[in-house]
Structure 1
Amino acid sequence: MNEQTFAELSAGYALGALSPEDELAYREALDAHPEWMPLVEADAAAAALLSEGVADVAPPPALRASLLAQIGAPVAEQPSPGEDDVADPADDLQDDDPRAAASGYSVGSPVTEEVQLVQRRNWTRSLFALTASIALLVGIGWGVGALTQDMRAPSAESVLAQIERSGDAQSSTAQLGDGGEATVHWSPSVDGVVLVAEGLPEIADDQSYEAWFVRGSAPIPAGAFESSDGSAAMLLEGDMEPDDVIALTIEQSGGSPSGLPTTDPIVAIPTNA
């Protein structure tokens, strides 16, 4: 399991949303990689922050007393109106019902409004918590939101640092046509492959660079990226296999929609040297 997959499981664990199988995989991965504990702590803190984001709302002090007074008060029988004497129900409630005097409210209006106000506040608070949880889920695993993604997902720089600190770091470099160069960094003991490039050719605003794992004769997308100054450090998407060639092409913005290169590679870097 790589660090990005573990980050998705960590987000689900913080929200109590993992299946038994996923929770087992999460715990086994954490046992095998204790260095991932900062991801767990960040997700737990984010979940706690969301749950504490809305303060409790207490009902008005007079509400309980007025409701109890209405419940305990006797209900007066109302005379049936005759054919020539049509009663106004509103007048009966205001003038004859002792509940109005006992509560100090006009029956049916202010008390009901206060109850509805408390219900609306509670409903709004619950809706906020649900929305926040959905936002967190979307943001940290099942859709990837920007803020929590920055807190949790490994960057090219952090993975490159891990590779360089490992005892089995490997790299391969190839030259670009205009004098630049691109280097692939990897390590059998570290999850992730990093491509570092300098002197990339200039591209249009509606274009992107796209990396590929070329496995035999089959190109496999490894992620698209942009660069404003011709340099880039990119954490490739997916896993590299022995003898893969890392190729770089220029595609439309966001990468090739077909999942296959539409241009010739500007560089091809072997990894079996």
Structure 2
Amino acid sequence: MISIEGLSKTFGGLHACDDLSLSIEPGSTTAIVGPNGAGKSTLVQLISGVMRADAGTIRLGATDVTRLAPAHRFSLGMVRSFQTARVFPGMSVLDSVRVGAYYGLFYASHPFSVGSTVRDAAASLLRLPAWRARYREAERHALDIIGLFGERLATRLDHYTYTLSYANRRRVEIARALASRPRLLMLDEPTAGMNPTETEELAALLRDIKAARPELTLIFIEHKMNVVRQMSQRVVVMDAGRIIADGTPEQALNDPKVIEAYLGGRGAAQT
């Protein structure tokens, strides 16, 4: 379970998260929605450790991760994508995804520490047998994950990521996250910059992956309501750093407070 209690983050006088509490069940799929500036991305930044909370606690199961660095949280299986695609521009598609696969495999059997990181770096320099075996396994897993994206990525294994279209850079980032074998996967606007066909294609892929990995906990931020309705079991609506609605897509998106604050009074069914 992801358990958040009294989480707060302010920027000057702006409350991006305002004494927010939320519990997310393992294996669930939760959409975080709300108007621009509602605090959605800040919430994911705080959960992933990219930002430090002013107050409150974040727990992954029994582990308090509130003060842990992002890399430490990654080692526990907390993995994310960003609002704008972040890839390694000078690496190929395969190498980029293999990074996620390698470290997901590494931390499955090694606790996070400076010592383990140094030992792994030394093993890579010396090409020790254990490192070579892990590297080969990471490559096999990376190829399997890339294969899920079909010709969008599979035909571009050797392409540098800076040469890819924006949509394909987003696919590489999501593939890298999936390859790390996450327990908790957080996607910040995964379909941003994609046309309707590409959006439906990615949404279908994520639904298939979730069906194949029912233990995976998925949290995603999305502005496209058709994707929210198709993918989520639960919708949490934020406004001004607070949760104003929480329930099934039907319940949350038709809540009068949501229609007023998020949809401008136009009605959920029209979005």
With the length of structure 2 as denominator, give the TM-score of the two structures.
0.25
With the length of structure 1 as denominator, give the TM-score of the two structures.
0.25
Higher Cα Rg: structure 1 or 2?
1
